Structure 1
Amino acid sequence: MNSTDPTFLGCVSAVSGASVTVKLAASLASGLAIINGHTYRVGQVGSFVRIPQGYQDLYGVVSEVGATAVPANFAETSVDTGRWMKVELAGEAIGATFERGLSQHPNINDTVHIVTEADLRRIYGRGGDDQVAIGTLSSAENIVVRLSLDNLVTRHCAVLGSTGSGKSTTVASLLRSIVRPEAPAAGSPGARILLLDLHGEYSKALSDVARVFSATPQPGEEPLYVPFWALEAGELLNFVAGGLNDNQEIAFTDKIQELKAARLNASPLPGLDPQSLTVDSPVPFSLKHLWYELIDFETTTFTGPQRDQPAREHPGDANTLTPPRYTPHAMGAAGPFVNTAAKGIRRQLNLLRSRLLDRRFDFLLHPGPWEPDLNGAVAKDLDELLGQWLGHDRPVTILDLSGVPSTVLERLIGSILRIVYEALFWSREKTEGGILRPLLVVMEEAHRYLGPDTGDVASAIVKRIAKEGRKYGIGAMLVSQRPAEVDETVLSQCGTLIALRLSNPADRSRVKGALPDNLSGLMDLLPVLRTGEAIIAGEAARLPVRCRVTLPSETHLPRSADPAVTVAWATRRKAEGYDRVVASWRAQSTTAVAVVTNIQRQAVEPDAEGEK
């Protein structure tokens, strides 16, 4: 032991599992050390230390400093209880190669040293095809922090932080780091990322690397369609028909099965054997036809001696959702008579008709070229839908769900994820399947549909992705400001946690419980992190690290900035009516106008002298 070594901190006094207690050297008189012209802070929570072990070095993270780090048997006898430090071991280096995990533990009285810039480069400096640069170390901003792309995607990850902590900017920066559009070799041109954007924040940030689909498309965006017939029957009926008892549900599902079978008989679909057809098979059928057939059966009245002659006065029209009209039944023995075989689903059918007439749900119930006609024929099949979402020439797909009514949002998210997961799951051996071309699904505001008590279709499919997605090349990135409201099962499956500032004790507790490393001391820094600063731990990080995430350029920042209150209130309000406000409210569109202005534009011809 050389106490004159400027990197020397102290000696190991106790070892317990991956935790090491260090007695700081008496010669350590200052919180600063100058080594080779660089200044280092000594004994900072979150900083790294090195413990030499002959041909290899152990590396750890400082989790506690001071009296709380004193071993229990030293607490009463030690004179200076402040000169202690607790370290959580995280990895080891042999030569120039660093890896997580430990092959051996330190011994009592082994020396402990400051990790210098050379050591940090030994840990973080080695690049590679799977290494993605996301920022710099908070303690040494000239050291680039890299994450393993393979582990980030396949082992899942979570970005957690309170409102205003820089969460959206971090996600945008992380996705741009993965895609690397500015890289000389175009970064990852084959990347496949699906981003569920609940607030319309990312279209500006990723416009150059993404295609945007929106339920309320703006210029440059494409309309978002989710064919209802690709959903499971139970999910669809729960939305369009409300609560159903067993007999009522059978009435609906039997008719759906009948319509799908008729469609399949009229035109076979590749890969589907008519004998294996189920009510959940993704086969087109008409909801209007379903409604018409069932309402006709429910409202039929009969006349005649055998009570078998329909008393129809008007046939109605399925296309316009006009119900057939029958002579009302009479109370006496002369008829007309009610249909005694009716299933009692008239109220549910009225709700189905109401849903079909509600323009807010057109993206789901009237999905453009994917809407079947009365015979179940469609202009486009699911292959073109998946091609639009996952097969275009840009690495990122943004599904802007900001214009989706909240009543259907969770169900829609679950439907989108189920369509994508089922397609990639069953095509896992194909070149466009998940194994040969993996997919990363980024889920914003995850706490809204992944709560422990939600029990909806979105929660069920995300749990399935979290548990099984790694095997089939489908990775998940959860983004949430309330980790305490995210189902613990899903969060525990996230191998990498990127934790930004968190003030709520319940949120911090959930993050600590989900961490794969014993870093409770490091997690205590969460309330004091700066905006855009994160603690990263888990599978993708070489060591648990406090990182300053690189900010995107001004033109690629997400639309999540706080309103400039001082600037806005410093300007005297101009008198303006609220007709445009009401017009947008009624239209459920931010670009609606109260007065349509038709401007006639004409080309200006140059005169004889060449002037306009």
Structure 2
Amino acid sequence: MPQVFPMESNNEETFRWLIDDTSPLGMVLNEATLHEFDFVISPERKTKVMFGEYVVTKNAAGEPLFGVVEGLVGLNKMLSVYESQGITTRELDVILNSTDVRDISELVVAHVRVLGKIIPRFDDDNRARRIDIRPNKYPIVPLTKVYFPSKSLLKLLFEEPEENDNPTRIKIGYLLNFYDYSKEKGEIEVYLDLNRLLSRHFAIFAVTGAGKTNTVLVIASNIVKQFGGTVIVFDYHGEYARLADYTDVLDFKINVLKEPSIRPGDLTLGEIQQLLEINPRYVNMMDALSRAHEIMSSTKSIKVHEKELSVENFGSAFIKALEEALNAVKIEANTSTPKNRKLYDGAEAVLRNIRLRRDILSRILYDEGKNDVIRSLEPGALNILDLSSFSEDEAITFVSYVARTTLRERIKAVRMGPTTVKEVFRYPILMIIEEAHVFLNPDKAAESAYWLSRIAREGRKFGVSLGIVSQRPKKLEEDVVSQCNTFIILRLIEEQDRRRVKNSSEMITDDIAESLTSLDVGEALIVGYAVPAGIPVTVKVYDFTKLYHEKVEYGGRDIDFIEQWRSLRNDNNGSISSEDLPL
């Protein structure tokens, strides 16, 4: 945690506190502007400056500036002379074979983007309490010295003051440039402003295996443990569901719902169509389904296996009522007119879909003995909805249903009072959507895309926050991404994905976008509204298992082909029977 440091009010004393030591890294070169500059690094420190390092210098008014290194170029003066003045190759060989001459000739030039003017905020005892970064208004003079920032400055920027009795930030990881991999420890922690993270939504982007799931768990567990918040994770691949086995060692509230189900009476016509995998372009089927939906709206209950069941509440009753309504549509349409014939054929096709998907419908629709998802959600908990047993269309229907219900209940709670809704909806909710590109596709997932887009636009007014997680940012709708004001970006390889990320934030330059390919597992660039002072920061995200318990397992695991084949051989004493071979 940062300490509070005494500070004199005059500029020179302030500046000395802001820098790491009085030995400069180098000096500013020509053509510095308000927003960027190049500096040549002192020969003895050229191996100390890395991409993403923060630096401090002054503008023409003597005000301290904060910047980040976004490019490094190695130069050799002798090669430049060789190219411009015609030194012979033999002469160049003699010169460059001299180590002393070669070392003197080699230069490293760093390109720096100016993030802004450093403004320390003092208390009544003239001690710095926080650091603000504001736009720079003066040019930078060539030959101005450049320094590393002090750790005291970085701590005030990125950590939460330890004197704060009402914390407003969550820990996300360590500042990468101060992280020691050999000790698995960093010197400076990075916090995110939680209200800013949630009120303007956030996105996590990364290739498979870069650490998305770990990052989600670090954020979600902090919210639940530290603030008692309610989080819902849509677990498309079952990567979080395994945490149900570790509730005894996790010291925060966790609620894993495996094969959650939906009360059928709560489904919209569009969600029923998605669940039945009816292409909206199949007009005859859509018309027949719409008419059947009208007919069955008057049916309150129906007998199933000698038991009278509510159509709205029980899947078996709903399916039977829908089939009877479709048969009624066929009777209505049993005339020779072309229009009626199309309606008849449409009803027959929908009935065929139901017969083919009866087992699937029975799995996702609520019946006795199942987990009703809405009634099973718990306030102040990490709610993990395991969708791994669902098909894509089932998962889309499920996400649409929960998103719609959550937004509507939160609107009701805000407008009519919290006592008008279930306990879980009385307080703000964070919804995290894994594989968000699946559910935000307006062509293939119209229902879920609509409700998630509405939450992106309106959710903050009603206490519904959205976290979208994807390995394919290029496939996400631009209007949804544009509603996210904080981006946590782990390793990204594909150029189109990096281009989409770059276009989503003005803080991401071409150089930064290119650097995303070189991030290691668990390393992330964070930009946006939730970052203290709004400056880009590269972190080593905490390891979730080390925060809680090293035996905790989660996430998708690749099949170990060799180990399983060895196990097969050992089980068969070295021989493999025909029954063991795949068909």
Compute the TM-score of the two structures, normalised by the length of structure 1. 0.69
Contact 1:198 1:400 in 2 (8 A): yes
Contact 1:60 1:88 in 2 (8 A): yes
Deviates more, 1:457-466 or 1:474-483: 457-466
- Rounded to whole Å, the distance in 1 between the matches of 2:459 and 2:264 is 24
Stretches of structure 2 that go unaligned for 5 or more consecutive residues are 1-11, 76-82, 85-104, 122-127, 179-185, 248-252, 302-311
**1:153 alignment partner, one of 188, 198, 221:** 198
Q: Which residue number in structure 2 is paired with residue 30 of structure 1?
A: 45
The residue type paired with residue 298 of structure 1 is K
Query: Over aligned residue pairs, what C-alpha RMSD do you find?
Result: 4.1
Could you say which structure has the larger radius of gyration?
1
Whether 1:143 aligns to 2:182 is no
The residue type paired with residue 345 of structure 1 is L
Residue 568 of structure 1, CA deviation = 4.3
- Rounded to whole Å, the distance in 2 between the matches of 1:467 and 1:212 is 28
SS at match of 1:135: strand
Contact 1:300 1:338 in 2 (8 A): no
Q: Which residue number in structure 1 is paired with residue 320 of structure 2?
A: 288
- Rounded to whole Å, the distance in 2 between the matches of 1:503 and 1:46 is 18
The 1:354/1:369 distance shift into structure 2, 3 A limit, reads farther
**1:175 alignment partner, one of 220, 229, 248:** 220
**2:418 alignment partner, one of 396, 414, 431:** 431
Contact 1:65 1:86 in 2 (8 A): no
Q: Which has the higher helix share?
A: 2
Q: Which residue number in structure 2 is paired with residue 555 of structure 1?
A: 551
Cα shift readout 1:337-367 (whole Å, capped 9, x = no counterpart): 9899956434443444455551122144x41
Q: Which residue number in structure 1 is paired with residue 468 of structure 2?
A: 478
The residue type paired with residue 361 of structure 1 is L
Residue 228 of structure 1, CA deviation = 2.8
The 1:139/1:431 distance shift into structure 2, 3 A limit, reads same
SS at match of 1:556: coil
The 1:58/1:395 distance shift into structure 2, 3 A limit, reads farther
Q: Which residue number in structure 1 is paired with residue 254 of structure 2?
A: 210
Residue 441 of structure 1, CA deviation = 0.7
- Rounded to whole Å, the distance in 1 between the matches of 2:240 and 2:353 is 30
Within-5 A mapping of 1:478-557? 478-542=468-532, 543-553=535-545, 554-557=550-553
The residue type paired with residue 62 of structure 1 is V
Within-5 A mapping of 1:80-91? 82-89=108-115
Residue 48 of structure 1, CA deviation = 0.7
The 1:352/1:11 distance shift into structure 2, 3 A limit, reads same
The residue type paired with residue 418 of structure 2 is T
The residue type paired with residue 9 of structure 1 is G
Contact 1:295 1:346 in 2 (8 A): no
Q: Which residue number in structure 2 is paired with residue 590 of structure 1?
A: none
- Rounded to whole Å, the distance in 2 between the matches of 1:295 and 1:60 is 71
Contact 1:248 1:345 in 2 (8 A): yes
Whether 1:418 aligns to 2:404 is yes
Residue 5 of structure 1, CA deviation = 2.2
Q: Which residue number in structure 2 is paired with residue 49 of structure 1?
A: 55
- Rounded to whole Å, the distance in 1 between the matches of 2:46 and 2:458 is 48
Q: Which residue number in structure 2 is paired with residue 574 of structure 1?
A: 571
Whether 1:62 aligns to 2:69 is yes
Stretches of structure 1 that go unaligned for 5 or more consecutive residues are 33-40, 69-75, 181-186, 216-223, 265-280, 302-328, 330-336, 372-379, 586-612
Deviates more, 1:136-145 or 1:94-103: 94-103
SS at match of 1:367: coil
- Rounded to whole Å, the distance in 2 between the matches of 1:580 and 1:569 is 11
Q: Which residue number in structure 1 is paired with residue 9 of structure 2?
A: none
Contact 2:413 2:426 in 1 (8 A): no
**Identity among equivalent pairs (%):** 22
- Rounded to whole Å, the distance in 1 between the matches of 2:558 and 2:291 is 52
Q: Which residue number in structure 1 is paired with residue 148 of structure 2?
A: 114
Residue 193 of structure 1, CA deviation = 0.7
The residue type paired with residue 502 of structure 2 is K
Q: Which residue number in structure 2 is paired with residue 92 of structure 1?
A: 118
The 1:567/1:65 distance shift into structure 2, 3 A limit, reads same
Q: Which residue number in structure 2 is paired with residue 310 of structure 1?
A: none
- Rounded to whole Å, the distance in 2 between the matches of 1:487 and 1:243 is 21
SS at match of 1:29: helix
Residue 577 of structure 1, CA deviation = 7.8
**1:442 alignment partner, one of 432, 438, 450:** 432
- Rounded to whole Å, the distance in 2 between the matches of 1:230 and 1:155 is 29
SS at match of 2:195: helix
Cα shift readout 1:176-208 (whole Å, capped 9, x = no counterpart): 22223xxxxxx222x111100011110224653
Residue 46 of structure 1, CA deviation = 0.6
Q: Which residue number in structure 2 is paired with residue 334 of structure 1?
A: none
- Rounded to whole Å, the distance in 2 between the matches of 1:356 and 1:247 is 16
Cα shift readout 1:39-95 (whole Å, capped 9, x = no counterpart): xx32x2111112346896432221122379xxxxxxx99x99853422241563323
Residue 98 of structure 1, CA deviation = 2.0
The residue type paired with residue 202 of structure 1 is Y
**2:347 alignment partner, one of 340, 346, 349:** 349
Contact 1:297 1:342 in 2 (8 A): no
- Rounded to whole Å, the distance in 2 between the matches of 1:22 and 1:30 is 16
Deviates more, 1:170-179 or 1:489-498: 170-179
Contact 1:438 1:473 in 2 (8 A): yes
The 1:293/1:387 distance shift into structure 2, 3 A limit, reads closer
- Rounded to whole Å, the distance in 1 between the matches of 2:561 and 2:499 is 33
Deviates more, 1:517-526 or 1:462-471: 517-526
**2:330 alignment partner, one of 275, 298, 310:** 298
- Rounded to whole Å, the distance in 2 between the matches of 1:470 and 1:477 is 12
The residue type paired with residue 171 of structure 1 is V
Say how many residue pairs are matched: 485
Contact 1:58 1:93 in 2 (8 A): no
